[in-house]
Amino acid sequence: MFGSIYEQAHSVAQEKIQQLAKRLKGFPHKTYVRHGQVLDVVKQIVEEQQIDLLVLGTHGHTGLGKLLMGSVAEQIFRHANCPVLTVGPRVPVTEKVRESRHDRDLPHVQVKFGNILYATDFKPDAVEGSSYAVSLASEFNAHLTLLHVIDDFGEDLHEQPGPIETALVKLEELVPDREGLRYAPEFVAEYGSPGELILKIADEYEADLIILGVRPTSSSSAATHFGRSVAHKVVAGANCPVLTIRR
């Protein structure tokens, strides 16, 4: 019984991957149908093929589907050895993709990152994340906004310089060389809940891409600590793709 179920699942997966391969005509590509833990399989392929960027889709047709895909995506972007671009469930589908059919070639969609938001908590690797943000802003001639959210309402609120002023100076120090940027970067520091405020600022600035640094968990299972909640909220709630860079 289990053998027939396994064979049927493999056959369906093989058929779907072949349909996708037809739509990728004209693009150099490889296809895989493998069995095992998703994270382990993905990490193996990343290493074998020396992948520079992973792209994940988390669109589920049901609430459960979205939950499961989101959990798998988080395991991957927290443990992958390369940056991961996640297209969350709230990212709009372009008209060209919506109108496409299985028997047609994959429509060419022009990717435009006109507004990029980089959110940082000033951990030691903040410079690495900002270098990705600056590089992409330069490549796409995009507006770049750097954001720091202060979630610790301590006793130093009235000190001079205050937390806001200090954060703004640190943000500016992350972009020492602005020669390749068409537009002067903007720096934003506010008090609030990181996940909620990142999404709010992304909407206000009409971000086409959000960049975050993420910490790996101690195991391949989904974590429940603070860092996870921020990344999970942003990926699940963003109206644009999110690029995560593992620390």
Mean pLDDT of successive 10-residue segments in the chain (247 residues)?
Answer: 69 83 81 85 91 82 49 83 89 62 57 93 87 95 97 66 90 93 96 95 97 76 49 90 90
Q: DSSP code of 100? A: -
Using alpha carbons, select from 198, 88, 83, 167 the residue that is nearest to residue 133. Answer: 83
The contacts of residue 198 (CB under 8 Å, 6+ apart) are: 117, 119, 147, 149, 210, 212, 230, 233, 234
**How far is 68 from 200, CA to CA, in rounded Å?**
25
Q: Are the CB atoms for 75 and 43 separated by under 8 Å?
A: no
**How far is 142 from 182, CA to CA, in rounded Å?**
7
**How far is 53 from 82, CA to CA, in rounded Å?**
6
Overall fold of domain 52-247: Rossmann fold (3.40.50)
Phi-psi region for residue 29, left (φ > 0), alpha (ψ -120 to 50) or beta?
beta
* Model confidence pTM above 0.95: no
pLDDT (0 to 100) of residue 200: 97
**How far is 247 from 5, CA to CA, in rounded Å?**
40
The contacts of residue 68 (CB under 8 Å, 6+ apart) are: 60
pLDDT (0 to 100) of residue 84: 92
